[in-house]
Amino acid sequence: MGKFWVIFVASILILLPFLCNSFSPDTPTDRRVLVLLDDFAIKSSHSSYFNSLKSRGFDLDFKLADDPKIALQRYGQYLYDALILFCPSIERFGGSIDVAAIIDFVDSGHDLVIAADVNASDLIREVATECGVDFDEDPSAMVIDHTGYSVSETEGDHTLIASDDFIKSDVILGSNKITAPVLFQGIGHSLNPVNSLVLKVLSASPSAYSANPKSKLSTPPSLTGSAISLVSVVQARNNARILISGSLSMFSNRFFRSGVQKAGSTTKHEKSGNEQFLTELSKWVFHERGHLKAVNVKHHKVGETNEPALYRINDELVYSVEVYEWSGSSWEPYVADDVQVQFYMMSPYVLKTLSNDKKGLYSASFKVPDVYGVFQFKVEYQKLGYTSLSLAKQIPVRPYRHNEYERFIPTAYPYYGAAFSTMAGFFIFSFVHLYNK
């Protein structure tokens, strides 16, 4: 054990430069993942999911959620890049982990996967609430759908749902279309519609509702229809990503392997969509996809190459930035036609779409407006599924210098004429007046 620690500390020391920043600009993909479990049975019952992560190079560290030795950080450094909470019933974490520690973990840019379930503990609910997801407050409620359930041999209580209402985003769910419905059994949650950071990835059908299947429904259920979200993702402002699911069992080997036939539908799929859905989603959550970086922000006058300290009004300038997308192993040029730059002073004076050369270089050239002040080059790029790019570069714009105005204005020639003729006339008058006695 002692030897192990020595090696561990040594590896930490070697890795230290890389640990300082979770998204190192070179490789944003997470590497070390802490998995907290209710009991180690989950490790084998959900092994397909874990193996798909391992095969993609993740270093999974399985711990019991109430293990008194677990810790997210040591000496101010985080030990992990991501956290998977497969422990829906835990009431209190072991070690130094609590809600605040998990939230701090996210706020410092790390990723989080939460799987809740029926009878999810207050602790898990609290973490979810902090992230903007509200689970049904009735602890024993499940999502029930009498039309969208998954057909099985035994007519159950229709809590095993087959849902195919996915978010339409290739970035989040991959470019291959998920054909088979996803099996879901668990608790539903709702999102605040004004919350712009959280996205419904898998929502329930309009006929679904959330209630306790064992008791008779006395009052109308609080959550109904497609307002119920089954799986949601959050991308925080610091681009940390969070996956929240109301069902732990949807990650299980059993659901991965089972066939699915949606009620009312004749097509029977040999294999449920769970594996494809969750694998693709995990690629997004762990930053294997949809991560952008902007580098080499440059601006200069047309015809020059050096970046000036300030511009003059009405200068012609060129602004360029390089945008790359992380493909999971390397940075590829990001190609889009909707990246815009603003020349901004309290409001955008210039708003221009950047043109790209398909190699990641975006550029635009425009004229500085006829207004002086402290401007900013702003690129605010927020696209569904991608990390947000927010670049701001301050640049003052000065008025003309005293000798940059035109010396003679054509419209003023009558005035010049008037002034000089008066001077000449005065001279002649003086001459005549003085010497004509």
Residues binding other proteins (CB under 8 A): 98-101, 103-104, 106-107, 122, 125-126, 128-134, 137, 191-192, 195-198, 234, 236-238, 240, 310, 345-346, 372-376, 394, 396, 398-399, 401-402
> What is the closest distance, in whole angstroms, from the C-beta atom of residue 400 to other proteins in the complex?
8
Strand partners, 391: 379
Q: Which residue has the tokens 């005293």?
A: 402
Nearer to other proteins, 192 or 327 (CB): 192
- Report angle CA 13, 17, 22 to the nearest 5 degrees: 115
Q: For residues 58 and 31, is the Cβ–Cβ distance under 8 A?
A: yes
CA–CA separation, 413 and 402 (whole Å) = 20
> What is the closest distance, in whole angstroms, from the C-beta atom of residue 195 to other proteins in the complex?
4
Cα-Cα-Cα-Cα dihedral sign, residues 253, 90, 226, 233: negative
Q: For residues 83 and 124, is the Cβ–Cβ distance under 8 A?
A: no
> What is the closest distance, in whole angstroms, from the C-beta atom of residue 399 to other proteins in the complex?
6
Q: Which of 127, 37, 26, 129 is nearest to 86 (CA)?
A: 37
> What is the closest distance, in whole angstroms, from the C-beta atom of residue 191 to other proteins in the complex?
8
Nearer to other proteins, 73 or 376 (CB): 376
Strand, coil or helix: 389: strand
CA–CA separation, 181 and 89 (whole Å) = 27
> What is the closest distance, in whole angstroms, from the C-beta atom of residue 125 to other proteins in the complex?
7
Q: Which two tokens stand for residue 35?
A: 């998995």
> What is the closest distance, in whole angstroms, from the C-beta atom of residue 376 to other proteins in the complex?
8
Listed in order, strand segments (DSSP E) in 107-167 are 111-115, 133-135, 142-145, 161-163
> What is the closest distance, in whole angstroms, from the C-beta atom of residue 123 to other proteins in the complex?
11
Nearer to other proteins, 77 or 330 (CB): 77
Nearer to other proteins, 110 or 293 (CB): 110
The secondary structure of 209-262 as a DSSP string is EEE-TTS---S--SSBGGG-EEEEEEE-TT--EEEEES-SGGGSHHHHH--B-B
Nearer to other proteins, 53 or 141 (CB): 141
Nearer to other proteins, 324 or 343 (CB): 343
Q: Which two tokens stand for residue 65?
A: 């959620």
Nearer to other proteins, 105 or 149 (CB): 105
Q: Which two tokens stand for residue 99?
A: 């809600």
Nearer to other proteins, 125 or 289 (CB): 125
Nearer to other proteins, 162 or 379 (CB): 379
Nearer to other proteins, 67 or 107 (CB): 107
> What is the closest distance, in whole angstroms, from the C-beta atom of residue 321 to other proteins in the complex?
20
Q: For residues 91 and 85, is the Cβ–Cβ distance under 8 A?
A: no
Strands 361-367 and 316-326: antiparallel
> What is the closest distance, in whole angstroms, from the C-beta atom of residue 419 to other proteins in the complex?
12
Q: Which of 264, 305, 294 is nearest to 393 (CA)?
A: 294
Nearer to other proteins, 107 or 164 (CB): 107
Q: What CA–CA distances, in Å, run from 330 to 25, 29, 434?
A: 11, 10, 92
> What is the closest distance, in whole angstroms, from the C-beta atom of residue 163 to other proteins in the complex?
22
- Burial state string for 152-180 with b = 16 or more CB within 10 A and e = fewer than 16: eeeeeebbbbbbbbbbebebbbbeeebeb
> What is the closest distance, in whole angstroms, from the C-beta atom of residue 124 to other proteins in the complex?
12
CA–CA separation, 188 and 116 (whole Å) = 9
Strands 59-64 and 32-37: parallel
